[in-house]
Amino acid sequence: MGILDQAKKLGDKVSESVTTFSSDEVIANTIIKAVDKQEKVNALLLQKGSNYRVNNIELGMGIPPSVSFGVRCLSEYEQTHATDSSDVTNLADNLGD
């Protein structure tokens, strides 16, 4: 197999990967998993008394696909009006489920 044939084969694989990742169902599943991860991490951060939270998610539809999380520090107002600690404990206890 010549180098041009190998390049065409590789190009076809890349094209197939992009098409597969861009399907609506795959994107929806990726969003669900990323948001679930954000909620679990935020519950752990709150339980540990951290002033930081994951506040945004970015999905990159490249090769390879990527998921990036943005982190921010809570304001004093947000810290004093955080979720009730019993809710956090219950959520954190269920993280392994």
Look at residue 28 in the predicted model and tell me its pLDDT. Answer: 86
Look at residue 67 in the predicted model and tell me its pLDDT. Answer: 87
Look at residue 78 in the predicted model and tell me its pLDDT. Answer: 67
What is the spatial distance between Cα 54 and Cα 36, in angstroms, rounded to a whole number?
Answer: 11
Instruction: Give DSSP secondary structure letters for 8-53.
Output: HHHHHHHHHHHHHHTSHHHHHHHHHHHHHHHHHHHHHHHHTT-SEE
| Tens of pLDDT, residues 49-65 | 999 999 999 988 777 77
| Tens of pLDDT, residues 65-75 | 788 999 999 87
CB 59 within 8 A of CB 29: no
Q: Is 49 helix (H, G, I), strand (E, B) or coil?
A: coil
pTM beyond 0.85, yes or no: no
| Tens of pLDDT, residues 81-92 | 655 444 544 545
Residue type, 14: V
